[in-house]
Structure 1
Amino acid sequence: MALISAKTILTSICLFHITLAFFFLTNPGTVADQGMVFILGESMGLPNSRSFETQSPALGFLAVILALIGITDLVTLSLPDEICLVHYWGMQTPLRLTLTLLLTSYSFFFSASSPLFYTEDPANINTSSARLTHPSAHHAALNPNYVPSGWGGDALKNRVFFSFMFVETMSWFWVWVTLQEERRDLLAKKARRRSASASYGQGY
């Protein structure tokens, strides 16, 4: 049995989405100024987007979407465990994990600080190991090899979006691992109930 149940983790994710929606609507700068956003952004060399510092119609729209997702997901947890955990979240969790992992990877690996768009620094003597150096947002801003996305994908290459998707990926992976264990327990209990019912029926 898992230390923390899948329903508890899912409830936390739902409340996280609702809380994030509240701050995106009322004070988006609070989200952008979080320490975790700064640490992850600096470690990956991603730029800080000033569009998250003030209220805007786009952030208001995002807040409504996040609130709707959080509330509707929270309602599904009131369903019976077999329907909720085995069928609904058993399908939703790997899908959301895959999507968030892809978006997290895109946000970094296709940004200007990615090794895919690496340019050698003339001041760096040891160019053979330069690809393993720490990503730099300053270097990324001056990277001549980087070609901006023509379809608007650059809006996803900032530290706020990366941090959100990174947390989502870790959370959905945690849910997926926990669900695998709880799913086995639920199916085992269901099998025992069926065998007990069959034995009871044969007694009559």
Structure 2
Amino acid sequence: MEEAVALHYWLSNVPVRLAFLFGLTGYVYLFKEGGVFGSAAGSWRNTSIGEPLQNSLVFTFGFFEVAIWFWIFTSLREERREALRKRVEAAKAEADHL
């Protein structure tokens, strides 16, 4: 796969992953048992479908995934900026050569 195509693919894919993982991690944090919007400890009346997701393991996984994918996103943006700079320099060199 050509480098420009791969860079375009990942720059369009990573923000979608980040949004999903950020939403999942935020949901787990805010709606955990005893959390800001969560049920009180021991309350069985207000159980939801997302109850199995609301634990420390899912939160930790989501948190680390968000951190790693954000780091990848910033690295990809730097690569795109560097590739654009190289392309501009090559165009200048070609224009000077003609």
Q: TM-score, normalised by structure 2?
A: 0.82
Q: Is the 8 A contact 2:28 2:55 kept in 1?
A: yes
Count the aligned residue pairs: 98
Residue 69 of structure 2 corresponds to 172
Instruction: Report how far residue 184 of structure 1 moved.
Output: 0.7
Q: 1:146 to 1:117 in 2, by over 3 A?
A: farther
Q: Against the structure 1 CA distance between its residues 116 and 84, is the aligned structure 2 distance closer, same or farther, given a 3 Å change threshold?
A: same
Residue 37 of structure 2 aligns to a residue whose secondary structure is: helix
Q: Whole-Å Cα distance in 1 between the matches of residues 11 and 66 of structure 2? A: 16
Picking from 79, 88, 92, the partner of 1:191 is 88
**Percentage identity across paired residues of the two chains:** 33
- How far residue 160 of structure 1 moved from its aligned partner, in angstroms, is 2.3
Distance 1:91 1:146, change over 3 A: farther
Contact 1:112 1:146 survives alignment (8 Å): no
**Alignment map for 1:48-127 (pairs within 5 Å):** 79-85=1-7, 87-117=8-38
Amino acid corresponding to residue 56 of structure 2 in structure 1: R
TM-score, normalising length from structure 1? 0.43
The two structures, once aligned, show a CA RMSD in angstroms of: 2.1
